[in-house]
Amino acid sequence: MAFIVTESCIECKHTDCVEVCPVDCFYEGENFLVINPDECIDCGLCEPECPVDAIFSEDELPPDQIPFIEINERLSQEWPNISEKKDALPEAKKFALQKEKLSLLKEV
């Protein structure tokens, strides 16, 4: 079972989680991070590091976030790997509490 990055990460993209991942299974898009489920070892180190609570164990995923299982799997095959912490997006604080951000996801 893998961990999943969910909607809360969109337009925030804090990378505190990346810094603690022992297997470098995070991948980076323009305004979102994803976890490759085949590389995730389910250690759970990333979950408490996320300041916007965007990371969940797949078996504890809120029902409205289930589409992010497929999104993480698919985009982790397309986006480049990230293994070091970077600054969050400039407007991360503004978007931190916003809900229903899926339409803002940039998949390119």
Question: What is the set of domains in the chain, with CATH numbers?
Answer: 3-85 (3.30.70.20)
Tokens of 30: 């323009």
Rounded CA-CA distance 85/44 in Å is 17
> Could you tell me whether strands 26-28 and 33-35 are parallel, antiparallel, or unpaired per DSSP bridges?
antiparallel
Reported pTM: 0.96
Nearest to residue 100, comparing CAs of 74, 62, 73, 44? 62
pLDDT at 2 over 80: yes
Percent of the chain residues past pLDDT 70, beyond the cut: 100
Q: Mean pLDDT, to the nearest integer, of 45-49?
A: 98
Nearest to residue 105, comparing CAs of 60, 53, 54? 54
Rounded CA-CA distance 36/92 in Å is 23
pLDDT at 108 over 90: no
Q: 51-100 pLDDT, tens per residue?
A: 999 999 999 999 999 999 999 999 999 999 999 999 999 999 999 989 99
pLDDT at 1 over 90: no
